[in-house]
Amino acid sequence: MSILLSNGKEIPIEMHKIRIVQRVRLAPAAERLQAMEKAGYNTFMLRSRDIFLDMLTDSGTNAMTDLQQAAMMQADDAYAGSESFYRLTDAVEDVFGYKYVLPVHQGRAAEHLLAKTFIKPGQVVPMNYHFTTTRAHFELVGGTVLELYADEALNTQSSHPFKGNIDLARLKECIDKYGAEKISFVRMEATTNLLGGQPYSMENLKAIKAMIEPLGIFLLIDGSLISENAYLIKQREAGYADKSIKEIIREMMEIADILYLSARKSCSVRGGMIATNRKDLHDAIRPWLPVYEGFFTYGGMSSREIEAMAVGMREMTELEVAGSAADAIKYFVNRCVEEGIPVVTPPGGLACHVDARRMIPHVPQSQYPAGAMSAAIYIAAGIRTMERGSVSMDRDREGNDVPSDLELCRLAVPRRIFTMSHYEYAVDRLKWIKANADLIGGLVFFEEPPVLRFFAGLMKPLGGWGQKLAAKFAQDFGPNC
Ligand SMILES: *Cc1c(COP(=O)(O)O)cnc(C)c1O
């Protein structure tokens, strides 16, 4: 939620009070440099104790509500037929209107089952944009990911309200080129993660469905960030201002054929699921669930998380919850723009994304500018961010680096974790980094895993720039900052 102050300014306002807190520590710059060196300039390799503000991700890091915690106490740990599962299916039916539910341990497990069931070698999967784990699973079974976004999606200085839309002309071209039998399904990702948390519109969803339904192609939604997409539709799309978040989500689900999600995001727990009303799709996936995840009524999740997921799923349809991250992000992004920090606009529903190409234009893409930016932000501020650029792209089948469309450094906004002073601190340190951008150089891998290399790859700063940046920081702010 946002609230208007008497001076005409809008600020994000928390519609909750904080009853449990976790201490954090701001290690001095010299210590942060050491930690970054030890982590191979990869923020995934840092230890939590060395981090002041953890903006790596919103995945599994949201604050739960008292009601979610309370629900965990009534967990029914039966291996089969657990009551907890039936409370989850009630919530799914209520929120999404879908009656078949396949629980999985997290989002990528859903992607694994969907890929295994529906993608045949040589087929293509059109989508608005890939997610890292989605691409990995779809390609591992021999499929090809086709990203059919509009050109505007890659413009990081935009005011387009729905950069997560599929370009309909490109979808038509794709169908004409490959034919329906070579298309596994069409995937639409809510609040498109790697495009900077950008939403699709309901209009776009309807048009996609109208095009593919007569051809027998089904529409799959990745709803990991669905409540934020619904919130942004309510704010930005004509005709939706007076609809509730639940009505908007229900309308999406009436258009789609099948949904999967990582419950670690909008639902604020750790888990995932696939849901649908189409018996044929459900029946095709179902046999594989106990093979890879667990029995049909727990799917690899703990009963406690299943209970908390049922509550979190209903809660995400409340306006204050659906908008809690989006309105903080709006503030965070707009403050960065005011201070001249190059970030992705318009504000989306996931994070504040620094555009590394504009922040450190002298670092070539082959030296991973977004990775360098991510390391620099940790050294200068103790803030952990995530590289969302070429490090996050694996090499192609010939072993060549694949340059990413965008070189973004993501400052994720987990739900109900940070306050305005945290955002103001981040803005201030980003401003300092921009003023000292010439000190930052590129990175080179010295250890590189063959798949999802961004998780565990180790890098070195070219020319030892990390040391120079830390020294300049200590000079400007003193040794204890
Ligand atoms: C996080 C995420 C996934 C993967 O889910 P995990 O729970 O991390 O396995 C898939 N799609 C999107 C859009 C996500 O944000």
Here the CATH number for the domain that contains residue 131 is 3.40.640.10
- The answer for residues whose C-beta is within 8 angstroms of residue 189's C-beta and 6 or more apart is 127, 128, 129, 131, 134, 164, 221, 222, 224
Tell whether 311 and 207 lie within a shared domain. yes
CB-based burial of residue 23 (10 Å sphere; 0-12 exposed, 13-18 middle, 19+ buried)? Answer: exposed
pLDDT of residue 298: 98
Ligand 1 center to residue 10 CA distance, Å? 31
Domain end position, chosen among 274, 296, 318: 318
pLDDT of residue 36: 98
pLDDT of residue 213: 98
pLDDT of residue 42: 98
In sequence order, what are the beta bridge partners of 219?
Answer: 186
Tell whether 409 and 423 lie within a shared domain. yes
Q: Is 133 in the pocket of ligand 1 (CB under 6 A)?
A: yes
Tell whether 364 and 270 lie within a shared domain. no
Tell whether 380 and 446 lie within a shared domain. yes
The question of whether 41 is a catalytic residue gets the answer no
Q: Is 264 in the pocket of ligand 1 (CB under 6 A)?
A: yes
Tell whether 110 and 214 lie within a shared domain. yes
Q: Is 314 in the pocket of ligand 1 (CB under 6 A)?
A: no
Ligand 1 center to residue 263 CA distance, Å? 8
Domain end position, chosen among 301, 318, 335: 318
pLDDT digits (tens, 9 = 90+) for 199-256: 999 999 999 999 999 999 999 999 999 999 999 999 999 999 999 999 999 999 999 9
Mean residue pLDDT across the chain? 97
* 29, 481 Cβ separation under 8 angstroms: yes
pLDDT of residue 203: 98
pLDDT digits (tens, 9 = 90+) for 93-106: 999 999 999 999 99
- Look up the CATH number of the domain holding residue 21: 3.90.1150.10
From the alpha carbon of 106, which atom of ligand 1 is closest? 7
pLDDT of residue 143: 98
pTM: 0.96
Ligand 1 center to residue 178 CA distance, Å? 28
Tally of CA atoms within 13 A in the half-sphere of 5 that contains its CB? 6
For residue 327, how many other CB atoms are within 10 A of its CB? 24
pLDDT digits (tens, 9 = 90+) for 279-291: 999 999 999 999 9
Reported as a pLDDT band with limits 50, 70 and 90, residue 351 is: very high
From the alpha carbon of 264, which atom of ligand 1 is closest? 7
DSSP secondary-structure letter at 149? B
pLDDT digits (tens, 9 = 90+) for 366-381: 999 999 999 999 999 9
Domain count, the chain: 2
Residues 393-401: what's their mean pLDDT? 93
CB-based burial of residue 363 (10 Å sphere; 0-12 exposed, 13-18 middle, 19+ buried)? Answer: buried
Tell whether 93 and 30 lie within a shared domain. no
Range of the domain at 326: 2-58+321-477
pLDDT of residue 279: 98
Q: Is 193 in the pocket of ligand 1 (CB under 6 A)?
A: yes
pLDDT of residue 217: 98
Tell whether 75 and 189 lie within a shared domain. yes
